[in-house]
Every structure is written in C-alpha cells, then in structure tokens.
C-alpha cells in the first residue's frame, strides 16, 4: 500500500496546485468549506481532521454562480460571443463518503438519461477526487443508513485511510493511479491497517420508503411535518445533493451575459410562473416537494436516494427540522389515510 506521511500533505498539495485547482477542507472563521489551496493558505486552516465541512464540495462541479455565455445585441439581432464552460483540471482532496456519493448523484442528474449538461460535464471530466475514509461518524451522521459505506468513498479516484501519523493511500481508478504516479516522490510504500468504523449514533430505516411515499402525495401528514419549516432554504444550499438552479441575465448597453445560480425549491418564487400561477403556493407543498424529491423521485428515476446522510441539514436548520425524524414519522403513518 502507498502511504502519505501527514507532514508531507502540504508539499503534496503544492505539487498538485502547480497543475490543477486543488480544493481542500478549510476552516474559514466560524465556517468551513472546500476552498482552493494556494501558497497564501496556511496549513493551519486545513480541516482534514474535522468531520464534514459546513459547505460541501458540490460547488466544485456546480458553482454557486456560473457565467454561461456572453452576448452582444444589435437591434433585433443577438450574437453569442463566448461560451464560458470551464474545463480546467481540478482536484478535491479529502472528501468524505457522503460527499463523493453525492457527486455520483449529481452525475446521474447532469450526465445521464440522454441529457448532458455541458457546463457540469466540462468541470466533472477534469476532476480527480481524493476521498477520505471516515471512521468516526458524528452524532448527526447517518450515511450508512442511506446505503453509503463511510470507509470506501464511492466515486473517489484515490482513498485515504487515516493511520495516525500517516495516511494509507489507495488509488482505485485509472485517474487515481495517474495522480499517484505523479506524486510518487512523496509517497511511501508499506502495509497499514485499514480503520474500522465506529458505531453510528444516528440510524434510520429506509426499507420500502420510496415505494410508500409514492402513495403519500396527498397525505395530511405533510402539513404537520412542515409546521416548523420557515422555507429559509438553508438546507437546500448546504445539501451536497441539491442541485436546482436558476438562469438569469445581466446586460449593460448592447452587451451582456447569462449566468446560472443556485436556487431552492423552498422558495415560493421557485415555481412562480410568468402569468402569476404557482403550483406550490403553500409552505407544506414546497416542503413536501423537497422530501419527495430526495426520497422518492430521484430513487424512481435513478435508483438511488437524493440524501446521503451527511447530516448538514439536521445540524444547520434554524428551526430543528430533522430529516431522520421526518423519515421515522413518514414510516409510522397509515398510508391509506389521504
Ligand atoms: S433549513 Fe429548516 S427551516 Fe430552512 S427551509 Fe430547510 S427545513 Fe425549512
Ligand atoms: S438531505 Fe440533509 S442529510 Fe441528506 S444529504 Fe442533504 S444535507 Fe445531508
């Protein structure tokens, strides 16, 4: 097994940063997120040992705002001047299994079923993911209940196994092997024990849930469940598997550009139509959509769930809405009451 001494991590990141934008978990004041590694970033800000960053690495493939194309107009004519799909090399270093699995979910949405999102594809094709096996789940983590193996980050190109002073370094794809060859001078070679995962304190049973939800669209329980929600949208922005976006335009004189930016199904405007009609007028309709989307619709279409059990929404919801409690409540209600 290849090994990486923790004292060499910064040297490895510097080397990677010569050829790619390298995203690492960083503490940034009160929050943490995957930020770009550079000579200006202090190694003290690296958050490899903490659990999930507050912000997931989804912005590496789906930026919060992304310019799509620039244009110029002349009378009734418009000309696209530049398409801005960004295809630079990128590396995510230290993503946990819940987040690598979420990248797989985003891949299904943006790259399959006869539809390819050119902007997502350009970013994704040049991305190498170094995953980090996670042996100490936090109190709100429940990835194993959602079919995620925390010790084997699915979709990673290389997996890091923490072994104290060093990491075990295991390439698992050709892309990961190529990266390993590139870093050979920093890597050792000896067998290390793989960690075993500690007990999860949070578990939830999802057996048969998508099928049950298929019969619960009009169930009155949604009003009860939505009562605490303020439709603030925090959960959707923090979720590594939420991907809804809006497309907007900026113009100045005869020139302008289109860009897309994250949106949230929790907002009334999300489904507001030009004529004023809104198919999801009430809070509980928007709330229901979020949970049905994650736990039923995505499963129906792609055979996987839209929640990977990262726990971010549980920790950060300002009003204590907890997806685990919601699933438990959905499991116990009588499905024939409509
Ligand atoms: S974070 Fe909580 S209150 Fe805000 S939209 Fe999500 S569930 Fe509702
Ligand atoms: S729904 Fe909540 S727990 Fe599930 S992946 Fe999204 S943020 Fe994480």
- In this predicted model, what pLDDT tens digit does every residue of 207-230 receive, in sequence order? 999 999 999 999 999 999 999 999
Structural domain includes residue 139 = yes
335 has a pLDDT exceeding 90: no
Structural domain includes residue 232 = yes
Partners of residue 170 on adjacent β-strands: 159
Structural domain includes residue 119 = yes
Q: Where are the alpha helices (DSSP H) in the chain?
A: 9-17, 97-111, 118-125, 174-182, 209-213, 221-226, 234-238, 283-292, 298-302, 312-316, 323-332
- Asked if residue 235 has its Cβ within 6 Å of ligand 1, the reply is yes
Structural domain includes residue 328 = yes
**Which residue among 95, 296, 307 is best mutated to probe the pocket of ligand 2, counting the most ligand atoms within 8 A of its Cβ?**
307
- 235 Cα to the center of ligand 1, angstroms: 6
Tokens of 94: 């230290």
pLDDT band at 338, cuts 50/70/90? very low
Structural domain includes residue 158 = yes
> Looking at ligand 2, which residue's alpha carbon is closest to its atom 6?
239
pLDDT band at 305, cuts 50/70/90? very high
> Looking at ligand 1, which residue's alpha carbon is closest to its atom 8?
229
User: Mean pLDDT across the stretch 186-196?
Assistant: 93
Structural domain includes residue 338 = no
Q: Count of domains in the chain? A: 1
Q: What secondary structure letter does DSSP report for 296?
A: I
pLDDT in tens, 50-109: 889 999 999 999 999 999 999 999 999 999 999 999 889 999 999 999 999 999 999 999
d(CA 120, CA 34): 18
The mean pLDDT of the chain is 95
- Asked if residue 231 has its Cβ within 6 Å of ligand 1, the reply is yes
Structural domain includes residue 337 = no
- Asked if residue 233 has its Cβ within 6 Å of ligand 1, the reply is yes
- CA dihedral (120, 124, 127, 133) positive or negative: positive
pLDDT band at 43, cuts 50/70/90? confident
173 has a pLDDT exceeding 90: yes
Judge whether 236 and 264 are in contact, CB under 8 Å.
Answer: yes
- 309 Cα to the center of ligand 2, angstroms: 5
Structural domain includes residue 179 = yes
Instruction: State pTM to two decimals.
Output: 0.95
Q: Which domain holds residue 159?
A: 2-332
């Amino acid at each position: 097994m290849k090994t990486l001494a923790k004292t060499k991590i910064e040297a490895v990141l510097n080397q990677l940063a010569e050829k790619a934008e390298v995203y690492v978990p960083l503490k940034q004041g009160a929050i943490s997120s995957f930020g770009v590694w550079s000579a200006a970033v202090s190694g003290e800000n690296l958050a490899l040992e903490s659990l999930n960053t507050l912000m997931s690495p989804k912005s590496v493939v789906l930026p919060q705002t992304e310019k799509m194309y620039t244009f110029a107009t002349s009378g009734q004519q418009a000309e696209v001047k530049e398409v801005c799909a960004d295809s630079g090399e990128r590396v995510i270093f230290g993503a946990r299994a819940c987040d690598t699995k979420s990248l797989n979910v985003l891949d299904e949405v943006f790259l399959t079923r006869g539809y390819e999102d050119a902007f997502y594809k350009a970013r994704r094709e040049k991305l190498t993911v170094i995953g980090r096996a996670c042996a100490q789940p936090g109190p709100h983590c429940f990835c194993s209940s959602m079919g995620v193996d925390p010790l084997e980050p699915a979709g990673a190109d290389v997996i890091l196994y923490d072994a104290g002073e060093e990491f075990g370094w295991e390439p698992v794809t050709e892309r990961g092997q190529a990266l390993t060859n590139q870093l050979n001078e920093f890597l050792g070679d000896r067998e290390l024990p793989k960690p075993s995962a500690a007990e999860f304190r949070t578990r939830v049973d999802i057996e048969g849930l998508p099928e049950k939800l298929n019969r619960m669209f009009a169930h009155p329980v949604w009003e009860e469940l939505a009562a605490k929600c303020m439709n603030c949208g925090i959960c959707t922005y923090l979720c590594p598997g939420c991907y809804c976006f809006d497309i907007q335009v900026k113009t100045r004189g005869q020139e302008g550009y289109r860009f897309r930016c994250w949106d949230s199904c929790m907002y009334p405007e999300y489904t507001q139509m030009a004529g004023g009609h809104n198919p999801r007028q009430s809070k509980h309709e928007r709330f229901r959509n979020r949970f049905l989307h994650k736990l039923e619709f995505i499963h129906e279409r792609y055979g996987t769930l839209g929640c990977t059990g990262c726990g971010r929404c549980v920790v950060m919801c300002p009003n204590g809405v907890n997806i685990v409690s919601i699933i438990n409540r959905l499991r116990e209600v009588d499905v024939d009451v409509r």
